Amino acid sequence: MLDFNALFNGTTWFMLLGGLKYTILYTLAGFVISLLIGFVIAQCQLSKNLILNKLAWLYLLWFRSTPLLIQLVLMFYGLPILFNIETDAWVVGVISMGLYSGSYVSQIMRGAIISIDRGQMEAGRSLGYSNLQVMLKIILPQAVRRAIAPLTNEFISLTKNSSLLSVITVVELFREADVVISTNYKTLEVYLIAAVMYFVLNNLIGWLGIRLEKLTKTGEELA
């Protein structure tokens, strides 16, 4: 029989909530990094510069073809060995998530950018704007609105992937669940509670994404 009483005694519940807090913080930080990287890689792919194209291709080839788990382990253990760089586990985790997710965000952004009529770039240039100014002031705002739905999905995926940070000793929800299990041995009960927390969090993110779509009238634009 399942027994959830032990989960509401002592500090157990607060440990899980604390882990959830860190999961949210690390995911947000990683997602911000992925947005920045994604935009840069998308621009490199759209650039006429062959070197930038190749660098973007190599980046995507690596980060989309290897698991996040391996990337985390390589960065956490590899940086101190190869470059004598000592860093905190959570910093490595956030950067790794950003680099990994950035490879997918770049394709979302690239697809959204090329969906905008090329005539708008030409119109902006005719008004005296540079390519960068047209991109930032005209093209990108429209592209971001069109990318809200897939970006929301990527945010949810990153939230779930954050559980892998426990492998490199980062304290987040899954790591705290393991700590709780080591003290009360309620394996199934604790994992069920953790699963419900992820479920609620990710559905909240999905709901916020839908609200954001409606506020920006994305649905009307695509209709």
The residue-averaged pLDDT of 61-71 equals 96
The predicted pLDDT at position 221 comes to 54
Percent of the chain with pLDDT over 90: 63
Domain count, the chain: 1
The predicted pLDDT at position 7 comes to 72
The predicted pLDDT at position 220 comes to 46
Who wins on pLDDT, 52 or 183?
52
The residue-averaged pLDDT of 167-176 equals 95
The CATH number given to whatever domain includes residue 33 is: 1.10.3720.10
The residue-averaged pLDDT of 158-163 equals 96
pLDDT in tens, 89-109: 999 999 999 999 999 999 999
* Lowest-confidence segment of 34-43, 84-93, 193-202 by average pLDDT: 84-93
Containing domain of residue 69, as a range?
Answer: 5-222
SS3 readout for 161-201 = HHHHHHHHCCCCHHHHHHHHHHHHCCHHHHHHHHHHHHHHH
Percent of the chain with pLDDT over 70: 97
169 — alpha (psi -120 to 50), left (phi > 0) or beta? left
CA distances from 66 to 70, 109, 151, 155 (A): 7, 21, 21, 19
